Amino acid sequence: MQWREWLRVDVQREHETLWCATWSPNGQLIATCGTDKAVRIWDARTGLLLGGLGGDTFARSVRRIDWSPCGLQLALACFDSKVRVYRLVEGVSGGNGLSLEREPANAVLAAYLRLELVATLEGHESEVKAAVFNASGTLLATCARDKTVWIWECGPGAFSDLDFECVAVLAGHTQDVKSLVWHPRTELIASASYDNTIRLWCEDVYDGEWYCCAVLSGHESTVWSVAFAPTADAGYEHLLASAGADGRLLLWQRCEDGTRPETIRHDALVEDTVSVRTPTQPHSEKGVGAGTPQPTDEGVMAEAPSSARRESGSWSLDLSSTRDALASAPIEKDPEEHARFAEATQVDSSTPRNLDPPLVSSVMSGKQRWLVIKQVRVNAGDAGFADEEDESVYCVDWSHDGRLLATACADGHIRVYEATELRILLDIPAAHSGAEVNYVQFQKRRDACGDWSIHLGKRFQDMSTETLQRSYLLASTGDDGRLRVWVLFT
Q: What is the pLDDT at residue 161?
A: 61
User: If 0-12 CB within 10 Å is exposed, 13-18 middle and 19+ buried, where does residue 424 land?
Assistant: middle
Find all residues with CB under 8 Å of 350, minimum gap 6, and list them. Answer: none
Q: What is the pLDDT at residue 15?
A: 66
Do residues 398 and 241 lie in contact, with contact meaning Cβ atoms separated by under 8 Å?
yes
Residue 385, pLDDT above cutoff 60: no
143-181 b/e (C-beta count within 10 Å ≥ 16 → b): bbbbbbbbbbebeeeeeeebbbbbbbbbbbbeebbbbbb
How far apart are alpha carbons 293 and 149 in whole angstroms?
Answer: 12
Mean pLDDT lowest among 12-21, 115-124, 180-189, 479-488? 12-21
Residue type, 200: L
Question: For 233-284, how does the pLDDT look when each residue is reduced to its tens digit (9 = 90+)?
Answer: 544 557 999 999 999 999 999 886 544 433 333 333 223 322 222 333 332 3
Do residues 296 and 278 lie in contact, with contact meaning Cβ atoms separated by under 8 Å?
yes
Sheet of strand 472-478: strand arrangement: 2-10, 482-489, 472-478, 437-442
Report how far apart, in Å, the C-alpha atoms of 126 and of each of 1, 146, 148, 234, 414 are: 42, 6, 10, 41, 31
DSSP state, 100? G
Beta strands 83-90 and 393-398, pairing class? unpaired
Question: For 327-376, how does the pLDDT look when each residue is reduced to its tens digit (9 = 90+)?
Answer: 333 333 344 443 433 333 333 333 333 333 333 344 444 578 899 999 99
> For domain 2-489, which architecture applies?
7 Propeller (2.130)
Question: For 283-317, how does the pLDDT look when each residue is reduced to its tens digit (9 = 90+)?
Answer: 233 332 333 333 333 333 333 433 343 333 333 33
Backbone angles phi, psi at 427, to 5 degrees: -130, 115
How far apart are alpha carbons 310 and 32 in whole angstroms?
Answer: 25
Torsion-angle region of 51 (φ positive above 0: left; ψ -120 to 50: alpha; else: beta): left
Q: What is the pLDDT at residue 55?
A: 78
Average pLDDT estimate for 414-427 = 94
Q: What is the pLDDT at residue 258?
A: 43
Average pLDDT estimate for 466-487 = 91
Beta strands 62-67 and 73-78, pairing class? antiparallel
How far apart are alpha carbons 62 and 30 in whole angstroms?
Answer: 15
- The whole-model pTM stands at 0.75
Residue 451, pLDDT above cutoff 50: yes
Q: What is the pLDDT at residue 31?
A: 96
Find all residues with CB under 8 Å of 384, minimum gap 6, and list them. Answer: none
How far apart are alpha carbons 327 and 196 in whole angstroms?
Answer: 16
Q: Where are the alpha helices (DSSP H) in 127-253?
A: none
The Cβ of residue 131 has, within 10 Å, a number of other Cβ atoms equal to: 28
Q: What is the pLDDT at residue 232?
A: 61
Residue 471, pLDDT above cutoff 60: yes
How far apart are alpha carbons 193 and 225 in whole angstroms?
Answer: 9
* Residue extents of the structural domains in the chain: 2-489
How far apart are alpha carbons 317 and 122 in whole angstroms?
Answer: 12
Q: What is the pLDDT at residue 351?
A: 33
Question: For 62-81, how does the pLDDT look when each residue is reduced to its tens digit (9 = 90+)?
Answer: 999 999 998 889 999 999 99
How far apart are alpha carbons 49 and 460 in whole angstroms?
Answer: 23
Beta bridge partners of 428: 414
Q: What is the pLDDT at residue 319?
A: 36
